[in-house]
Structure 1
């Protein structure tokens, strides 16, 4: 990023009147890195942000990135129903959950929706598998992390707004130029690599070193590594959406048999997946068993799912019931802690009961055990890691050939090898699953 952040031109008055309902949003929250005129009076800054994300190419590309079940591998599901979720549909569903939960707690709904729509934008082709391969390639230029890539994309890569560099006079991109509050709400891990507040070895971080200027601007006045309230709503909405929908997709695809969850060996296998991955390592499996039993005891649980129309309707009701259950639990616990006023920014923490987190974790573990750990999935992931590694090697050898015009220009302007390598990472991260395979076939096939 370049230059000093100027004041935003949008009037913050519409956000400043929290009144008896508690804190709302002030001038700093609606500030943009680069000042802009409001082209349509009457719209709020957060409505503009939501529209920018919704209309971005980065969001559309998520339609070509697998969530959990790969299209065309539907198993027992009939061909006409082979429509598993992609990163795009997951993001849209996360946004719907987050918008309603945030509004119920006093957040600006457009702000929360924009953050939810943005939360997966930085994911590379092949999801977390591609993330692992890119992190290995980028280990000497700052690593790769999907959440840090999302900030980079929103504030730097996605072409929407350009400003003149004070240092060089050249036009430089400021990405979508979103407000401080939306960028902060989209930041799940507000720290650089190696600075996790409780686990320095954690691979999770939210900013690369060369994006620190905009990150520091976003976090101006924020208390340490604490995430803002809207980011916590986004994070829980993400957990709710993918835990519920991944199981739904697994059932549709024929990979999950809900009746197996009554068998003790299968239950213990699910709990073993959850402990250490989705719940703390010292969690008693009996607590997870109780959580699973609570879900199985619900009259709406999709026992005996067979793919029939009636069973599909019952399954859809179950997903609705689960989302409502998880969100209402968080809403109720948070209201019990903070009262009925507006809860925004750093005025509160989202409270999710431990029992609810255990239920959510069990669902994640079910999808992990029966969908992600299938042998054919591991073979597919191994092939995908090879594709990303070979694609990175080929682009490095031939760059700027093979790079899109946007990244070719950035490569040619880069100051050193480290910066040039980061451009190659950016190019690969922008690809969909199919475009990564096609580019790999074209470049690697030339060797």
Structure 2
């Protein structure tokens, strides 16, 4: 098969004709598969549009050319579809999961997540994957017969488990959730609609997860170069990027730094995609799965980097953490952003009448618990864009950080 051609559908790919269905039964679409329908519903939902004004690393008004959650999600989807096509997977499901993976992120990137996690620590904390599940199962109000988007079981499973199982077969939390437990948003929903938290997700979900890593690495390098936080030559400290930079110098010895950086990003993405295809195919050849259930029941993820590229990719993350995410300029702005969300959360708790009417406590349903009130406020704040959070802060407080 030549490069770029789609592989035939693999027997272990998710088959839309064999989907486990939706929580609420609906007639099938006339011209779309269940997974294409899921993808379209994500694209048209309100939470997806809000990603345009949610921080990736830089606050939105740092400049128009930096990534936002929306542009990042589109780039993840492009990479994921390329991988799915070469591996014979369902591209529509892969795209749906890629576009939906950041729906639960609050304003101001990871700073916002830290702030909400602290505000909600007595009520299970804040987890962006659990929040994404809330968005697509409860918080979107677009359909007359149900809350949420009523996505297929395969899409919900992939959103929750794209990074691996959340529990063992006895229901004990594992991995990231071993100490804190399963987030309430996932645990509560799972009691109604079992997503089999003990198993791995489909290859489509695993592809979406690793595509997120590839996009982060390459495009955060691009944004960091554009912001002047480091130079192309600074990236020579890592063998992986040093090799790519040397190859660019041989092909284009007189290239300016802007084009050199862009070429580096393109070559890095291509290298990592090829590496994932190679390692995933090797693991599939060894495991010889015959169905998607064999993928779910396997004892390790099957989509992965080979050892050497994995080491190189990990070094990029360390470099970006030190030179970009913890850069004094970024840290100052993110610290101020956290204070904005702390202020808003406290204000809404003390003065609930400051909330919009649609976010006020429901009437005629008895007294609301403290946990219920905190989660409702958290849901409202998590849905804010960066600029709406700042506008609300300006409305409610005498002084608001400039975040520049």
**Matches of 1:20 and 1:237 in 2, distance apart?**
19
- What is the CA-CA distance between 1:361 and the residue it aligns to? 2.1
Q: 1:299 is paired with a residue of what secondary structure?
A: helix
Unmatched segments (≥5 aa) in structure 1: 1-17, 75-81, 164-172, 268-288
Deviations 1:27-61 (A, max 9, x none): 663401111123x4121011111000011110111
CA distance in 1, matches of 2:150, 2:34: 11
Q: Aligned runs of 1:181-220 on 2, under 5 Å?
A: 181-187=154-160, 188=162, 190-191=165-166, 196-198=173-175, 208-209=183-184, 211-216=186-191, 219-220=194-195
1:384 shift after superposition: 1.2
Q: Residue in 2 aligned with 1:8?
A: none
Contact preservation (8 Å) 2:76, 2:212:
yes
Partner residue in 1 for 2:359: 407
Q: Distance in 2 between matches of 1:48 and 1:295?
A: 39
Give the number of equivalent residue pairs. 379
Q: How does 1:270-349 map to 2 (within 5 A)?
A: 289-299=238-248, 311-339=257-285, 344=292, 346-347=294-295, 349=302
Question: What secondary structure sits across from 1:186 in the alignment?
Answer: helix
Tell me whether 316-325 or 106-115 shows the greater mean CA deviation: 316-325
Is it true that 1:129 corresponds to 2:111 in the alignment? yes
Structure 2 counterpart of 1:258, from 226, 229, 232 = 232
The whole-number CA distance in structure 1 between the counterparts of 2:31 and 2:334 is 48
> In the superposition, relative to structure 1, how do residues 345 and 319 fare at CA in structure 2: closer, same or farther (>3 Å)?
farther
Match of 1:100 in 2: 82
The one of 204, 209, 212 aligned to 1:238: 212
Distance of 1:304 and 1:383 partners within structure 2: 43
Structure 2 counterpart of 1:373: 326
Q: Deviations over 1:220-274 (max 9, x none)?
A: 4x47243332221111000000110000111112111122344xxxx4xxxxxxx
Q: 1:291-347 CA distances to partner (integer Å, 9 max, x unpaired)? A: 454444433699999xx9x54334333222211111111111111222499874652
Residues 359, 404 of structure 1: alpha-carbon distance in 2 compared, 3 angstrom cutoff? farther
2:340: which partner in 1?
Answer: 387
Deviates more, 1:236-245 or 1:40-49: 40-49
Give the Cα separation in 1 of the matches to 2:44 and 2:342.
31
> Quick check: 1:106–1:344 contact (8 Å CA) kept in 2?
no
Question: Which position in structure 2 is the counterpart of 1:142?
Answer: 124
The 2-side partners of 1:303 and 1:405 are apart by 59
TM-score, normalization by structure 2 = 0.83
**Contact 1:302–1:318, Cα closer than 8 Å, also in 2:** no
- Report the equivalent of 1:69: 58
Structure 2: give runs of 5+ residues left out of the alignment: 1-7, 400-404
Structure with the bigger percentage of helix: 2
| Structure 1 match to 2:203 | 229
Aligned twin of 1:58: 47
Q: CA offset at residue 412 of structure 1?
A: 7.5
Say what the alpha-carbon RMSD is for the aligned residues: 3.2
Change (3 A) 1:360 1:405: farther
Question: Is the alpha carbon distance of 1:260 and 1:103 closer, same or farther for their aligned partners in structure 2, counting shifts above 3 Å?
Answer: closer
Q: Which runs of structure 2 are paired with 1:136-175 in the superposition (5 Å)?
A: 136-163=118-145, 173-175=146-148
Is the contact between residue 22 and residue 343 of structure 1 (CA under 8 Å) also seen in structure 2?
Answer: yes
User: Does the CA-based 8 Å contact 1:301-1:315 persist in structure 2?
Assistant: no
Q: Contact (CA 8 Å) 2:117, 2:126: kept in 1 or not?
A: yes
The 3 A distance-change label for structure 1 pair 251 and 19 is: closer
Are the counterparts in 2 of residues 302 and 315 from structure 1 also a CA contact under 8 Å? no
Moved more, 335-344 or 149-158: 335-344
Partner secondary structure for residue 298 of structure 1:
helix
